[in-house]
Copies of this chain bind each other. A is one copy, B any other.
Amino acid sequence: MAALENGARGVVPVATPGEAYAWRAAAEPVLLGGERGAKRIPGFDLGNSPLEYVRERVAGKLIVLTTTNGTLAFRRVLAAGPEGGQGPELIAACLRNAQAAARHLWQRAVSSDRGVLVVCAGTNGWFSAEDAYCASVLLDCLAACGPLEPGDGARAVMRLGALAAPPLAELSSSRHGQTLLRLGFAADMDYCAQISVSETVPRFNAGVLVAAGGPYDTGSPAGVPSVDGESVAGEPAPAGPA
């Protein structure tokens, strides 16, 4: 999200470092970003710290991003969407854009008569306290837009949210937060713990995350990135850009 906030043209989430290298090998200039085990990948231009994605580096650029959990979650949601026709709109939300994301979702849900599905990426397949906390903040923002009919999961998350400590304490007390602090990413946590300070809502536009309503948003549906599907959970694949 930091990339789009700072003027990046778009962010392409890919599953593996191999796919990212393949994008760089293609004609168009791209920046490679991402992490494995919270650390920058060899040969990559950027890591996973949002503080690296400053305007001077990312403005006007296409970023190819591979992270351990978020990318996979995007892929799975896209793959699970209805086939053919107009797929669901898929956006990215975090604490920093919670209110803007909620307003966007609410507007789309009302105008399309569709529900909202909140998907937590988790950490290596496990429940993540910071995800649930972020979901609770998003759901509170949605509830402020109008009447909600939450399912069991949403209700549970909202109950948990009502018990939450202040944002930074909540993030720091999670398992993953503890890991990040140990690795020296305290400044990232400060940045990520700021609630509703950003109006940027990343949305999928034909396989690329762009700022909703921004200059690179053509209004296309979500789409599935045109890379080899086999590579999502497996080995690096020699897949190229769209």
List residues of chain B with CB within 8 A of the CB of A153. 126-127
List residues of chain B with CB within 8 A of the CB of A163. 159, 163
Interface status of A175 (Cβ within 8 A of chain B): yes
Which chain B residue has the least Cβ–Cβ distance from A154? B127
- The B-contacting residues of A in range 67-86, CB under 8 angstroms, are none
**In angstroms, how far is the closest chain B Cβ from the Cβ of A179?**
12
Is B152 in contact with A160, judged by CB distance below 8 angstroms? no
User: Chain A residues in contact with chain B, CB under 8 A?
Assistant: 123, 126-129, 132, 151-153, 155-156, 159-160, 163, 174-176
Which chain B residue has the least Cβ–Cβ distance from A127? B153
Known: A123-B152, A126-B152, A163-B163. 11 other contacts (CB 8 A): A126-B151, A126-B153, A128-B152, A129-B155, A132-B156, A152-B174, A152-B175, A156-B160, A159-B160, A159-B163, A160-B160
List residues of chain B with CB within 8 A of the CB of A174. 152
Q: Closest 5 interchain pairs by CB? A: A127-B153, A129-B152, A152-B175, A127-B152, A152-B174
**In angstroms, how far is the closest chain B Cβ from the Cβ of A57?**
33
**In angstroms, how far is the closest chain B Cβ from the Cβ of A35?**
19
Is A175 in contact with B156, judged by CB distance below 8 angstroms? no
| Subset of 24 A-B contacts with CB under 8 Å | A123-B152, A126-B151, A126-B152, A126-B153, A127-B151, A127-B152, A127-B153, A127-B156, A128-B152, A129-B152, A129-B155, A129-B156, A132-B152, A132-B156, A151-B175, A152-B174, A152-B175, A152-B176, A156-B156, A156-B160, A159-B160, A159-B163, A160-B160, A163-B163
List residues of chain B with CB within 8 A of the CB of A155. 129
User: How many angstroms from the CA of A122 to the CA of B212 in the assembled complex?
Assistant: 34
**In angstroms, how far is the closest chain B Cβ from the Cβ of A143?**
18
**In angstroms, how far is the closest chain B Cβ from the Cβ of A129?**
4
